[in-house]
Amino acid sequence: MRVAIVRLTAMGDVIHTLSSAQFIKDQMPDINITWFVEEKFAEILFHNPHIDSIVPVNMHGLKKKPSFSALEVYCYVTGIFLEKDIGASHRILL
């Protein structure tokens, strides 16, 4: 299974959400986690062993990606639009 974590705009929110990736990998080690994050915060996520791929997002240049289940931690409007743009088949709200 593939899961997309959508945490875009606030550096503190990105940092606080890192534990979600660790929790998911601890429970389901074979899951593939892709993290969508605003370009300026992408460096925070590099070299994290719990994240399989990082997609730095330019909100104006977004293109469709393969189907994901989207983990939306705070349920912001920008996350909802991004989930639609990437073709998320499921939303998991925390």
* Domain chopping of the chain, boundaries: 2-93
Q: Which architecture, in CATH terms, is 2-93?
A: 3-Layer(aba) Sandwich (3.40)
Q: pLDDT digit of tens for each residue in the chain (94 aa)?
A: 888 887 767 788 888 888 889 999 999 999 999 988 888 889 999 999 999 999 888 766 655 555 555 555 555 545 554 555 556 655 554 4
The residues facing 42 across adjacent strands are none
Rounded to two decimals, what is the model's pTM?
A: 0.64
Cα radius of gyration (the chain): 12
53 token code pair: 């791929």
